A and B are shown apart, each in its own frame.
Chain A
Amino acid sequence: MRPSPARLLNILVPVKRAVDYAVKIRVNPQQTGIDANVKHSMNPFDEIAVEEAVRLRERLKGAVTSITALSIGPPKSLDTLRTALAMGADRAVHVALPDGAPAPEPLAVARTLRAVIARHNDAAAAPADRIDLVVLGKQAIDDDLGVTGQMLAGLLGWGQATCASRLEVDVAAGEALVTREIDGGAEELRCRLPLVVTTDLRLNEPRYASLPNIMKAKKKPVETLSPADLGVDYTPQLETLKVAEPPVRVGGGKVANVDELIAKLKEAGITAA
């Protein structure tokens, strides 16, 4: 009989197309949002998630059978998916929104992910084909909400390990060992699969996409779905009242000596206790 690993891992990596962090953000004149006509790229935490999934496969060899990247967004999200594919994902799912549609809220994103996982796992011929690990960014740098992973774990009833700075998976044992960044140190968690992991900055440094892989990525399959296909409603539940720039910081001044400093402090009403 052909020896086969007791279990196999299928990984889902959701990736968001976000305004690039190097871009200077400008609020639109109507104060309803930001100027979106700027350079976008993959949310850096998601890039780390893709990298981690690819590294898991490099470490675990045949035990990782597939890495699926998923993005919800306008047609240009395809670029973000191509990047994920060029980095090493095998296939992509694009939940397409029209240009200019508001970005879905975290709960809607989590529901979408649950629906995609359910679709996939219901169709799985064998347990080995099921998605049992989701790796995603701990937050997106555009809205900084940082709750999608937690909501997803809640909806699925799976374990969650957030803000991971190290991830080890023992596929045969169906377990993962996750180091999390917490205030003042690190925490180690032993988790059971299936599992939702969110990534922190120190987890890894994402690779460049190599040219041969960029070429190969063009031929990898991308499935396009609509929110309706998945039965998810994107009607916003939150109302944005106003978007404004932070008040301009007023520069400090230089003092010539300690006496002047003390005088200034007193002026500002600061006294020694």
Chain B
Amino acid sequence: MGRFHGRSTTVLKPKTTQEVSEILKWCNERCIGVVPQGGNTGLVGGSVPVDNEVILSLANLNKVRSFDPVSGILVADAGCILQMLTDYVAPHNHIMPIDLGAKGSCQIGGNVATNAGGLRLLRYGSLHGTVLGLEVVLPDGKILDQLTTLRKDNTGYDIKQLFIGAEGTLGVITGVSILTPPAPQASNNVILALPSFDNVLPLYQTVKRQLSEILSAFEFIDRTAYDLAVKHGQGRALSDEDVEGAECFVLVETSGGRREHDEEKLNDLLELLLTADKPLVNTGVMAQSPAQFSSLWALREGVTEAVSKEGKAYKYDISVPLSSFKEVVDNTREHLLSKGLLHDKAVKFVLGYGHVGDGNLHLNIVADSYLPEIEEALEPYIYEVVSSHRGSISAEHGIGAMKTHALPYSKSAISIELMKKIKEVFDPHGIMNPGKVLE
């Protein structure tokens, strides 16, 4: 993202868990910092050294260890790329429980280390549930083998959970055992154009009620985000007529076992929406082919790329109550305007999109260039807003190097103190990803 530049001179690319163990042991004895690096797609600078640490790339640890088509349990090296795993389980009629825009580069180990959420969380839950076991190399070189494939295992503290979302500060994940769900036999999607943000919540309720178990995504894109995605060629645009008067859009995806059944449900929903006395939607479009299905998704998934093409982005990935999504975006824009920072040479756009189903808003501020004034205007402003809603300052992207100072806005002093103790237990020499998560 061009905001973090490392000064590291060494990149190590071990091929086996044993090699990872030897590297860590060596570094630990000499107190050399180590930064685990996956696909380097993380958005908070977690995989970039802050000083001259050694980079430990997992890219060569990239084999599938086993897959059981009956239980759907996949055991893979941490360096396997998410897309590769998706393709691996596809012929067995399974899918990965996680999917995100970076799937072509990010690694399963990186996903686990960041506890990535993504587009399927609504349906399949978080990695804290789907990850069944981990193999982790601890900073002293010991290999913690918790690579079990058990669905149930209530035997004391569940240590592996600590590594999920630890962003490489406790150890290096080398193997992942994960439960993959059966592939849906039919998927459909629609994009709905809404006259007002106020309709998003009632729409979500209606959609949940009507689609129930086949609802697999409910994603929100505000008008600015949509316009940017279209401007930068992310997916085919809707017709002018269809977007006229729309303040925001919602992408609804269904995945189910039988096409006819799903289509009937979806059609009933759409009919209900269009014939209501006070319609919640202006109109919408429905994909008629897998190509259009991808194209509609591209409008949503492409926002990230569009934003980086448009300028320099300040990205906030926050959890706040659904009802405050728009207020947060609008107030931020107002706030920047009042500081005289909303113009061509400063902030160009303030936009919001995200996973409504998970209460997760991506608030992006697109600027002409990174300026200290903008940063000062945004922080701690945004963190205070989040804190006032008892929200999270980092819903799914983590803390990395970028948000360590802001941790107290989401975590109490007691929590942070415990985190520090845990870090101390695992990594007394502080070699694992120094400067990340905890200051």
Contacts and interface: CB of A to CB of B under 8 A. Distances in A.
Contacts of B284: 210-211
Interface string B288-306: 1111101010000000000
B214 to A, nearest CB: 17
A21 B292 contact: no
A22 B270 contact: no
A207 B289 contact: no
A41 B288 contact: yes
A156 B190 CA distance: 41
B285 interface: yes
Considering residues B238, B287, B292, B296, which has the most beta carbons from chain A within 10 angstroms of its beta carbon? B292
Contact of A207 (B239, B271, B281, B283): B239
Contacts of A83: 288
A149 interface: no
A214 B292 CA distance: 15
Interface in A203-246: 205, 207-212, 214-215
A86 interface: yes
Could you tell me the dominant secondary structure of chain A's interface residues? Answer: mixed
A207 B290 CA distance: 14
B287 A208 contact: yes
26 contacts: A20-B289, A22-B290, A23-B290, A41-B288, A42-B289, A44-B291, A47-B289, A83-B288, A205-B236, A208-B236, A208-B238, A208-B242, A208-B286, A208-B288, A209-B286, A209-B288, A210-B242, A210-B285, A211-B270, A211-B284, A211-B285, A211-B286, A212-B274, A214-B270, A215-B270, A215-B274
Contact of B290 (A41, A210, A211): A41
Contacts of A211: 190, 192, 270, 273-274, 281, 283-286
Contacts, number: 61
Contacts of B289: 20, 22, 41-42, 44, 47
Contact of A210 (B236, B239, B271): B239
A272 B294 CA distance: 47
Contacts of A47: 289
A39 interface: yes
A24 to B, nearest CB: 9
Contact of B285 (A21, A205, A208): A208
Contacts of B190: 211
Contacts of B273: 211
Contacts of A39: 290
Please list the 6 inter-chain residue pairs (A to B) with the smallest Cβ-Cβ separation, ordered nearest first. Answer: A41-B289, A208-B285, A22-B290, A211-B284, A83-B288, A20-B290
Interface residues of B, number: 24
A218 to B, nearest CB: 9
Considering residues A23, A205, A211, which has the most beta carbons from chain B within 10 angstroms of its beta carbon? A211
A22 B288 CA distance: 13
Interface in B138-193: 190, 192
Interface in A29-59: 39, 41-42, 44, 47
Contacts of A20: 289-291
A152 B286 CA distance: 33
B287 to A, nearest CB: 7
Interface of B: 190, 192, 236, 238-239, 241-242, 270-271, 273-274, 281, 283-292, 294, 296
Contacts of B283: 210-212
Contacts of A41: 288-291
Interface of A: 20-23, 39, 41-42, 44, 47, 83, 86, 205, 207-212, 214-215
Contacts of B192: 211
B394 to A, nearest CB: 35
Considering residues B274, B281, B286, which has the most beta carbons from chain A within 10 angstroms of its beta carbon? B286
A140 B270 CA distance: 31
B288 A86 contact: yes
Contacts of B242: 208, 210
A206 to B, nearest CB: 8
Contacts of B294: 22
Contact of A21 (B270, B281, B291): B291
Contacts of B236: 205, 208
A134 to B, nearest CB: 22
B199 to A, nearest CB: 15
Given A41-B289, A208-B287, 4 more contacts: A41-B291, A208-B239, A208-B296, A211-B274
Contacts of A23: 290
Contacts of A215: 270-271, 274
A214 B242 CA distance: 13
Contacts of A44: 289, 291
Nearest to B186: A39
B310 to A, nearest CB: 23
Nearest to A83: B288
A102 to B, nearest CB: 24
A183 B238 CA distance: 33
A44 B273 CA distance: 30
B254 to A, nearest CB: 14
A205 to B, nearest CB: 6
Nearest to A44: B291
Nearest to A207: B239
Nearest to A209: B288
Contacts of B288: 41-42, 83, 86, 208-209
A23 B90 CA distance: 12
A44 B270 CA distance: 26
Contacts of A205: 236
Contacts of A42: 288-289
A83 B192 CA distance: 18
Nearest to B287: A208
A75 to B, nearest CB: 12
B392 to A, nearest CB: 35
B218 to A, nearest CB: 17
Nearest to A214: B286
A210 B286 CA distance: 6
A212 B238 CA distance: 14
A151 B400 CA distance: 65
A159 B314 CA distance: 59
Nearest to B290: A22
Considering residues B192, B286, B288, which has the most beta carbons from chain A within 10 angstroms of its beta carbon? B288
A39 B288 CA distance: 11
A21 B292 CA distance: 11
Nearest to A84: B288
